Structure 1
Amino acid sequence: MATIYLVRHGQASFGADDYDKLSELGVRQAEVAGHFFRDQAIQFDAAYSGDLLRQRETAQGVLASQPGDVPHHVDPRFNEVRNDEHLEYLVPHVLAKNPEFQTLLDNLKSSKDYQKVIDAVFNYWVSPECDEPAIQSWADYSGGVRDALRDVISTQGSGKTVAIFTSGGTIATIVAMVLGLGGEHTYRFYEPVYNCSISQLFYSGSKVSLSNFNDASFLQVLGTQLGEQLISYR
């Protein structure tokens, strides 16, 4: 059975001047994920990632434990949802619908508070109401993700084992698509995604099915064995 492993990037540098790089914990998560694949004798025929640094660094950390060289293809269609762009252009629309949203914006103190803002903005973005011309539309973004996944399947063909190193929003979009769900259901798969978690797809021809979602048990088990805390959401 041909398999695709969707691997979320390790913890990024939230709160730093440059968010788009792995934190010290994120580097370690990628390394441990690589050890997990190695110890399970999972060998990749190919790897893909978006062009974001945190995605590419995670790919490098995982692939370092593979027994041989793995071709790594960079495809920006696997980049994360453009949250910064959404905050800039869509917050006024969300405020117009819900003035109480301003209270949350005025009291952002943690990554959890930030996630609540992303929740509101994301769900407005995917709704039929959103027609903001200054940003990439949900239809264009999700269509690009769909086409990128199809291209991976078409290019790699049957019997292959492929890794895609990407981000929470992209993983959520793929999972919702595979399950036949629309944009209004996508965020529920976005928020709970662990850093460096693994979701697994099987494919045969054009048929794609979900085997598991957001598995971080290997980080819990190996972290306990190593005396390290390896679990994080953000």
Structure 2
Amino acid sequence: MPVIYLIRHGQASFGAENYDALSDNGWEQSRILGRHLSEQDLGAPQAVCGSLRRHRETAEATLEQMALPKEWQTDHGFDEYDHKSLLHVHWPESADHQALSAWLAEQPNPRRAFQARFEEALQRWQRNEDDYKETWPAFRERVLASLYSLANGLERGDSVLVFTSGGAISVAIQHLLELADDALITFNRGLVNTSVTRLLVNAGRLRLATLNEHLHLRGELLTYR
């Protein structure tokens, strides 16, 4: 039975000018994931990657540790929603990196404070209260279109590593478990960097086998953003 492994990217550079680059932790998480997957007898899996830098860097480090060619098919359907655009609509001040950095420095727990603001922006997006470059239904549709297109092209015994983001993985989970839209936020909050969510494919149908596997991580390497 074909298997799709949805892999959330390694930790990005939270608070930096370029969020999309992996942090040092993110690179190490990705290398550890690669060593872990190399012990799982996956054969020679295909690789599919969203187009974002954090996707590509996670793929590069993981595949290198698996002794596989650092080659993949790029599929924009697995790209994350534009979190900066959503934040700017809800919280215009976040567009100013200097002002955002200063605000974060004032918070007792910067990551938690940012997460709260970010989830407010996601809720507003899902309610379609403003004009967005990509609406919530459009995002959901493109992720699922790429996922099912991939699944329909697989044959018995195939496996695919898909390097993507928490939002795209959460869409797949929400869809397969037939949950309400707010499940996006619930799962997106809890997905660990470089976690693995396994989907089984049967005649084009998808079944969720495991969710948010991250036993390869511990201590400070277990991160959520």
Q: TM-score, normalised by structure 2?
A: 0.87
Matches of 1:175 and 1:70 in 2, distance apart? 28
Contact kept? 1:44, 1:163, Cα under 8 Å? no
Matches of 1:29 and 1:22 in 2, distance apart? 10
Counterpart selection for 1:193 from 191, 200, 207: 191
Q: Does 1:231 align with 2:222?
A: yes
Q: Give the letter for the 1:9 counterpart.
A: H
Match of 1:157 in 2: 155
Matches of 1:131 and 1:182 in 2, distance apart? 18
Q: Does 1:177 align with 2:168?
A: no
Match of 2:6 in 1: 6
Shift of 1:116: 0.7
Shift of 1:66: 2.8
Shift of 1:155: 2.3
Matches of 1:171 and 1:188 in 2, distance apart? 12
Match of 1:96 in 2: none
Secondary structure in structure 1 of the residue aligned to 2:190: coil
Q: TM-score, normalised by structure 1?
A: 0.84
Structure 2 unpaired stretches of 5+: 93-102
| Change over 3 Å in CA distance of 1:70–1:53 after alignment to 2 | closer
Matches of 2:5 and 2:121 in 1, distance apart? 28
Q: Structure 2 matches for 1:110-149, cutoff 5 A?
A: 110-127=110-127, 130-149=128-147
Q: Structure 2 matches for 1:39-50, cutoff 5 A?
A: 39-50=39-50
Shift of 1:190: 0.6
Contact kept? 1:29, 1:219, Cα under 8 Å? yes
Contact kept? 2:64, 2:70, Cα under 8 Å? no
Match of 2:99 in 1: none
Task: Map Cα deviations across residues 118-149 of structure 1 (whole Å, 9 max, x no partner).
Answer: 1111122112xx15334211111100001000
Matches of 2:106 and 2:155 in 1, distance apart? 50
Q: Give the letter for the 1:233 counterpart.
A: Y
Structure 1 unpaired stretches of 5+: 93-103, 221-227
Alignment: residue pair count: 214
Moved more, 203-212 or 24-33: 203-212
Q: Does 1:84 align with 2:75?
A: no
Percent of pairs with identical residues: 29
Match of 2:164 in 1: 166
Secondary structure in structure 2 of the residue aligned to 1:191: helix
Match of 2:97 in 1: none
Q: Give the letter for the 1:58 counterpart.
A: T
Matches of 1:121 and 1:133 in 2, distance apart? 13
Matches of 1:38 and 1:45 in 2, distance apart? 11
Q: Structure 2 matches for 1:43-122, cutoff 5 A?
A: 43-69=43-69, 71-91=71-91, 110-122=110-122
Q: Give the letter for the 2:126 counterpart.
A: V
Shift of 1:67: 4.2
Secondary structure in structure 2 of the residue aligned to 1:201: strand
Contact kept? 1:52, 1:79, Cα under 8 Å? yes
RMSD of equivalent CA atoms: 2.2
